[in-house]
C-alpha cells in the first residue's frame, strides 16, 4: 500500500509517497526530473520487492511540497534531499534519479557519500551545461514568461517521449502534460537557472565505490548514448541498461521492463 505523507524540514513542508513494508532491508528514494513530480514513480513504488521501502518525494516548488525560498540550485535540492534522509532516519539508502534527479543524486553523493549505499542514474549525466546549453535555458525562461506554460509544455513534450509513446500512449502523455502545467511559472524559471548553473560532478565518478546502475531510454533526445556510456565507464563496476521504445522517461514509458531491471539490481546487491 502506498501512503501519501508530509514532513516538515526547516522551512519546507515536503510531500512524499511511501511504500513501507513490515521489515525493510533497504530503502530506495526516487528523485523526479524537471518539471515533473513524485507521481512519475508510482509504478516503481507499486512493483518493489516486499522487503524494500520506497519513497518518492516532491522537490521544493514541485507537486505538493511547499515553503522555502525560490532561489534554486542543484546544490540546494541535494541538501534538501539529505535533510529528508536524516529527518526520516533512513538507512541503507539507494538513490534513483531521472534527468535532473540524477544531478541531484550525484551532488548529494558528493556532499555526503556515507549516507548512500547505491545509485541508479536514469537518462542523466554528470556534466555541467555548455554555454550553448545555458543560452537555450535562458531562452526557455523568456519563452515561458512571454508565451505561458502551455506553449512551454507542448514544446517540452516533443522532446521527452519516444515516437511510439507519443503515438500510442495518450493517457501517459496527457498525465505528464498535466503535471507540467501544474508546476508554477516561478518554479519552472528558477529551476532552469539552477540547471544552467549546476556544478560538474564528473571528477568524483571514479571515487564511487558502490553498486551503480545506469539506465537510458533508447530514443532519448535529451541524453545521448555516449553520455550514458561515459557514466558507466567512469564508475567502477557500473552496469548499463538501454530500454527500447522509450525516450527520456523509460520508467513511465516502459514501466514493466524498467521495474524488472531495477528490482533485479536491488535483489542482486542489497537483498538477502
Please tell me the distance from the alpha carbon of residue 43 to that of residue 52, in angstroms, as a whole number.
14
pLDDT of residue 272: 77
Residue 4's Cα: distance from chain center in Å? Answer: 19
Q: Is the pLDDT at 85 greater than 90, yes or no? A: yes
Contact 237, 212 (CB under 8 A): yes
| Sign of the alpha-carbon dihedral angle for 243, 248, 250, 253 | negative
Q: Is the pLDDT at 156 greater than 80, yes or no? A: yes
Domain containing 82: what range? 2-270
Q: Is the pLDDT at 58 greater than 80, yes or no? A: yes
Peptide bond into 68 cis (omega under 30): no
pTM (2 decimals)?
0.97
pLDDT grade for 198, boundaries at 50, 70 and 90: very high
Please tell me the distance from the alpha carbon of residue 192 to that of residue 138, in angstroms, as a whole number.
7
- Rounded to an integer, the average pLDDT of 212-239 is 97
Q: Which CATH number characterizes residue 119's domain?
A: 3.40.50.1820
pLDDT of residue 1: 86
Helix (H, G, I), strand (E, B) or coil at 211: coil
Domain count of the fold of the chain: 1
Q: Is the pLDDT at 23 greater than 80, yes or no? A: yes
Contact 94, 28 (CB under 8 A): yes
Amino acid at each position: 500500500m502506498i501512503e501519501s505523507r508530509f514532513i516538515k524540514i526547516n522551512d519546507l513542508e515536503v510531500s512524499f509517497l511511501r511504500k513501507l513494508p513490515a521489515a525493510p532491508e533497504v530503502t530506495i528514494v526516487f528523485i523526479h526530473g524537471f518539471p515533473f513530480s513524485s507521481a512519475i514513480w508510482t509504478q516503481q513504488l507499486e512493483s518493489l520487492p516486499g522487503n524494500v521501502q520506497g519513497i518518492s518525494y516532491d522537490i521544493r516548488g514541485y507537486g505538493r511540497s511547499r515553503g522555502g525560498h525560490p532561489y534554486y540550485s542543484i546544490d540546494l535540492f541535494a541538501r534538501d534531499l539529505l535533510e529528508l534522509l536524516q529527518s526520516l532516519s533512513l538507512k541503507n539508502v539507494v538513490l534513483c534519479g531521472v534527468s535532473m534527479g540524477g544531478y541531484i543524486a550525484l551532488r548529494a553523493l558528493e556532499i555526503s557519500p556515507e549516507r548512500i549505499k547505491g545509485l541508479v542514474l536514469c537518462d542523466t549525466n554528470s556534466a555541467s551545461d555548455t554555454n550553448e546549453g545555458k543560452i537555450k535555458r535562458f531562452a526557455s525562461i523568456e519563452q515561458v514568461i512571454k508565451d505561458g506554460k502551455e506553449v512551454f509544455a507542448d514544446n517540452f513534450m516533443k522532446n521527452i517521449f519516444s515516437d511510439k509513446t507519443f503515438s500510442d500512449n495518450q493517457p501517459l502523455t496527457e498525465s505528464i502534460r498535466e503535471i507540467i502545467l501544474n508546476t508554477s511559472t516561478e518554479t519552472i524559471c528558477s529551476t532552469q537557472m539552477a540547471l544552467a548553473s549546476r556544478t560538474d560532478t564528473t571528477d568524483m565518478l571514479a571515487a564511487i565505490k558502490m553498486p551503480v546502475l545506469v539506465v537510458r531510454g533508447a530514443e532519448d533526445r535529451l541524453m545521448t548514448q555516449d553520455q550514458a556510456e561515459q557514466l558507466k565507464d567512469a564508475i567502477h563496476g557500473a552496469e548499463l541498461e538501454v530500454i527500447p521504445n522509450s525516450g527520456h522517461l523509460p520508467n513511465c514509458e516502459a514501466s514493466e521492463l524498467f521495474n524488472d531491471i531495477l528490482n533485479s539490481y536491488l535483489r542482486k546487491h542489497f537483498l538477502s
